[in-house]
Amino acid sequence: MTPLDPDQTRARTWFEHLRDLICAEFVAIEREAGSDAGFDLTPWDRTEPSGAPGGGGVRGVMKGTVFEKVGVNVSTVGGSFEGEFAKSIHGAGEDPQFFATGISLVAHMANPRVPAVHMNCRFLVTTKRWFGGGADLNPPLPIAEDTDDFHATLKAACDAHAVGDYPRFSKWAEDYFWLPHRHVHRGVGGIFFDHLEGDFDATFAFTQDVGRAFLDVYPRIVRRRMNDTFTPEDEAAMLAWRGRYAEFNLVYDRGTLFGLKTGGNIDAILMSLPPRATWA
């Protein structure tokens, strides 16, 4: 992989820093619940089909009392897209060379009244340079207070930036996180954005604030619900809902496809799958 330029280095450094902040907050929640759970961090290296080094990342997974399974991954990879896949990536149809760095997070919770969540942010370079990402809330048992809090916090982050178009990004998430074969949404939405080009400082600042907004709102929701009582019927509903989540990530999710097509770490790519799920 070629040496990183200053923008690539800044993006990679931020995503790694955000990972550290999020992991520390999630471990703090486990401590509040009387758990000694922590993240198992596993570095991995990527090799290009030619045999050349292609970057790598760190897979982080914690299984605890509050977080039944949470994965927080960071990666920085580069090289060349193979074959027809290059044509599906913004700016890579003309030249298959690429660079990508980012953070990806999925949390599946032990208490069905605590919503699961997904967040990712990334910086890609082909013949174009852009940020993408977002966050969406996935409660098995939706609670309006939590949904409203999540959306309001993300809206505030968007409204603070000229490039942060909350109505567009919220609708984008609504459309993207949809299971056509089930005719249902994966969750209660959030924001999703991609191909955010233009001034690096402006788009980077917005992407950073999306991460900070997530770090603000999600732990607050977890602490609000983690001691709620629940019934066996609630848990059964959660396990069935997790099946839908798995279906989306395996059939439709672009991040899963990107990781598989670029030779990423399989365990890191599939860390989004729930530890338990049911199908009728």
Cα torsion angle, 165, 199, 205, 62, sign: positive
For residues 161 and 206, the answer to whether their CB atoms sit within 8 Å is: yes
Please identify which of the residues 108, 118, 151, 185 carries the catalytic annotation: 118
Q: What are the backbone dihedrals phi and psi of residue 251, each rounded to the nearest 5 degrees, phi first?
A: -100, -40
CA distance linking residue 190 with residue 90, whole number of Å: 23
Q: Is 108 a catalytic residue?
A: no
- How far is CA 141 from its chain centroid? 21
Cα torsion angle, 245, 273, 175, 193, sign: positive
For tokens 């209660």, the residue is: 188
For tokens 């009582």, the residue is: 229
| Residue from 18, 32, 20 nearest 119 by CA | 18
Coil, helix or strand at residue 220: helix
- How far is CA 91 from its chain centroid? 23
The contacts of residue 198 (CB under 8 Å, 6+ apart) are 163
CA distance linking residue 34 with residue 29, whole number of Å: 9
Query: Six-digit token pair at 211?
Result: 């991460």
CA dist 137 to 6, 36, 202, 209, 262, Å?
33, 26, 26, 17, 27
CA dist 198 to 149, 214, 253, Å?
30, 24, 26
Instruction: Please identify every residue annotated as catalytic.
Output: 118
